[in-house]
Amino acid sequence: MLYELKNISKTYKSIGETNHALDDITLSLKKGEVIVILGPSGSGKSTMLNLLSGLDKPTRGQILFEDIRLDKMNEESLNDYRRKHLGFIFQSYNLISNLTIKENIELGSHLSSNPLNMEEVIDSVGLSSHKNKYPYQLSGGQMQRVAIARALVKNPAVLFCDEPTGALDEAMGKNILKVLQEMNKKYKTTMIIVTHNPSIADMANTVIRMNSGKIVEVTQNKKVKKAEELRWA
Ligand SMILES: Nc1ncnc2c1ncn2[C@@H]1O[C@H](COP(=O)(O)OP(=O)(O)OP(=O)(O)O)[C@@H](O)[C@H]1O
Ligand SMILES: [Mg+2]
């Protein structure tokens, strides 16, 4: 198993109340899959990503990445873990405005000891003709593709995507999902995608549904849809 969560809880305490962001979650995640986490606002999706990616620690329970206890690691080891194995894509693209597209993507490759070939990655996200432009010269979907390329070029084992299509229209959104799907096939990158959009579940191998800090359902799709075949919610 890539990840194993055993009786994981995360609580936040504020004056007079305790908030159970995650409530006794037990779950295993397989390597090489596209995993979609669905759930309403406040259900604990981002908290889950933060724990898996070592940005935060559980209040209770064990969390293992390839049999190593993340919940026992110190900050320095967690930093190493993120640097070596993980990539991140967020709803906002976090590009650096005074660097070109190519330079933005290069930042990702500097983070890695075994980066992928820059030109190949730029080509596979369809940005070859834009690589010498600056972020302000691109559309939202194109900027998201830069962010994907920057995350992928370091060749991470796991790519975390928090609402990667949230700021995009249907055509751009599907376009981004298609890139993620192709990358999953080509490089066997495990994709963990958090979204409000239930249509995206059809392209997952595994779908995790959350509500109020709990997992309500885990389903496996026998047939996975291509990104371009999704019906948009
Ligand atoms: N740092 C924090 N301090 C206190 N409470 C928090 C913190 N982070 C999250 N929470 C609470 O934990 C619960 C789960 O939040 P989380 O961000 O995981 O939800 P989400 O499913 O990602 O929601 P959204 O779809 O709106 O992004 C919410 O009730 C939230 O208010
Ligand atoms: Mg969130």
Instruction: Dump pLDDT digits (tens) for 164-214.
Output: 888 888 888 898 899 899 989 998 999 999 998 999 999 999 999 999 999
CB of 18 within 6 A of ligand 1: the answer is no
Distance, CA of 55 to CA of 188 (rounded, Å): 23
- Which of 8, 46, 52, 214 to mutate to test ligand 1, by most ligand atoms within 8 A of the CB atom? 46
Give, for 22, the enclosing helix (H) or strand (E).
strand 17-29
- Residue 220 CA to ligand 1 center (angstroms) comes to 26
State the pTM of this model: 0.92
3-state helix, strand, coil in the chain (%, to 5): 35, 30, 35
Residue 112 pLDDT > 90, yes or no? no
Domains detected in the chain: 3-10+19-229 (3.40.50.300)
pLDDT digits over 141-155, tens only? 899 999 999 999 999
CB of 50 within 6 A of ligand 1: the answer is no
CB of 176 within 6 A of ligand 1: the answer is no
Length of the chain measured in residues: 233
